[in-house]
Structure 1
């Protein structure tokens, strides 16, 4: 599998492409990372250094790849945090170019906007761009529960209301939706869930909820789910494998006492997840 991944990059830590590329490579996939920023560290620290790359520069990198005559071999385009509306347009253009060269290619969009605890933390125009332009062009989206509500104008809480919101999101264009950080009021205490839906049905997986805040875990999740879905053709299997690997990564990070994801130390969890969690069909 070949993945064109258009995301941020950091020198220290693991978010964006600095979180997504290595797990995909550890699974044996070829990844072509295109950076939208190159910062010293993620912005959660409150201070960082480095450039926000101009949209034209990002487009030039993609054009250079196209000039190698290889866009037709791309199986999936992956995008995450979009720092500005102009980058969104570059990503949409890249997706169109890839699909013109290979109509079987898919586009996975992680519509990063915020979370239930921090609220919306992107520029005001980004949610509108995602809802009106980017999500309709995607085949797969991987919002958290908060972002799903923002995209669909709903407040998903129960399983039923979350499934209803997913249906609304799928009506916008994507055929597959993975919802992360699902925290239903009626779930067992100390757990968290992921929900995946496509034409085959709806599946949910539950894991223990670890007491850590892990920047970049959503980027790893979107990358792994994209790879496993392509590899297995089953969202139930892709969901189970993804949840198992991400939990292993988070457990290793929690045990280390470090703030940053222990991506390298936990690499065996990508290739051979130690704790298998099963996906349960809910529709």
Structure 2
């Protein structure tokens, strides 16, 4: 499998491509990373250095890859945080060109906009761009529950309302929706859930909630779920594998007290997931 991953990169820590590439490689995926920023660290620190890469330069890198004749071999285009408005159009163009070369290729979009605790932390134009231009051309989207509500202009909270919002998102274009950070009011205390929905049904998985902020965990989740889904064709299987790997990555990081994900130290959890959580079909 080959994945063209168009995301940010940092030197210190693990977000964007700096979070997604290694876990994908560890499960045997060939990754072609294209960077949209090249920062010293993620912006959550409040200070960082390095360039925001212009859309024209990102497009040039993608064109250079195309000129090597490999677009026909790409199975997945993956995108995450979009720092500027112009990157969305570059990604859409890349998806169209890859699919022209390989009609079986899919596009997975992590529509990064914010979360329930921090609110929306991207430029005001980004949610509109995602909703109107990017999400409609995606095959898979991986929003958290807050972002799902933003995309569909709803307020999902219960399982029923989250399923309804996922259906609205699927009506926009993508056939598969993975909803992360699902927090139902009636869930057992100290737990958190993920929900996967596609044409075959809907599946929910529940894990203990680890009380710390883990920048980059969504990027790892989107990458692993997409790769497993592409390989197996099963949302339930992909959900079980991805959740197992990401939980053990988070648990290892939390227990160590590290500021950044222990991505390398947790590598065996990607290659050999423990499958410690039961996926339940809810529709």
Q: TM-score, normalised by structure 1?
A: 0.99
Deviation at 1:274, TM superposition (A): 3.1
> What are the superposed Cα offsets for residues 88-116 of structure 1, whole Å, 9 maximum, x if unpaired?
11000000100010010000000000000
Q: Distance in 1 between matches of 2:233 and 2:193?
A: 21
> Are the aligned partners of 1:148 and 1:165 in contact in 2 as well (CA < 8 Å)?
yes
The equivalent of 1:248 in structure 2 is 248
Q: Distance in 2 between matches of 1:168 and 1:234?
A: 21
Listed as ranges, the gaps of 5+ residues in structure 2 are none
Q: Distance in 1 between matches of 2:274 and 2:70?
A: 36
The equivalent of 1:40 in structure 2 is 40
The equivalent of 2:92 in structure 1 is 92
> What are the superposed Cα offsets for residues 147-182 of structure 1, whole Å, 9 maximum, x if unpaired?
000000100000000000000000000000000000
The equivalent of 2:110 in structure 1 is 110
The equivalent of 1:265 in structure 2 is 265
> Are the aligned partners of 1:178 and 1:197 in contact in 2 as well (CA < 8 Å)?
yes
The equivalent of 1:278 in structure 2 is 278
Q: Distance in 2 between matches of 1:174 and 1:233?
A: 15
Q: Does 1:72 align with 2:72?
A: yes
Equivalent position SS for 2:82: coil
Deviation at 1:262, TM superposition (A): 0.3
> Are the aligned partners of 1:248 and 1:275 in contact in 2 as well (CA < 8 Å)?
no
> Are the aligned partners of 1:205 and 1:277 in contact in 2 as well (CA < 8 Å)?
yes
The equivalent of 1:82 in structure 2 is 82
The equivalent of 1:161 in structure 2 is 161
The equivalent of 2:212 in structure 1 is 212
Equivalent position SS for 1:77: strand
Deviation at 1:201, TM superposition (A): 0.2
> What are the superposed Cα offsets for residues 198-248 of structure 1, whole Å, 9 maximum, x if unpaired?
000000000000011000000000000011001111100000111100000
Equivalent position SS for 2:260: coil
Equivalent position SS for 2:178: strand
> Equivalences for 1:54-203 in 2 at 5 Å?
54-203=54-203
Q: Does 1:28 align with 2:39?
A: no
Equivalent position SS for 1:7: strand
Q: Distance in 1 between matches of 2:54 and 2:165?
A: 34
Q: TM-score, normalised by structure 2?
A: 0.99
Q: Distance in 2 between matches of 1:273 and 1:228?
A: 12
Q: Distance in 1 between matches of 2:274 and 2:204?
A: 19
> Are the aligned partners of 1:6 and 1:91 in contact in 2 as well (CA < 8 Å)?
yes
> Are the aligned partners of 1:83 and 1:122 in contact in 2 as well (CA < 8 Å)?
yes
> Are the aligned partners of 1:14 and 1:263 in contact in 2 as well (CA < 8 Å)?
yes
> Are the aligned partners of 1:81 and 1:111 in contact in 2 as well (CA < 8 Å)?
yes
> Are the aligned partners of 1:109 and 1:141 in contact in 2 as well (CA < 8 Å)?
yes
Q: Distance in 1 between matches of 2:75 and 2:146?
A: 29
Q: Does 1:16 align with 2:53?
A: no
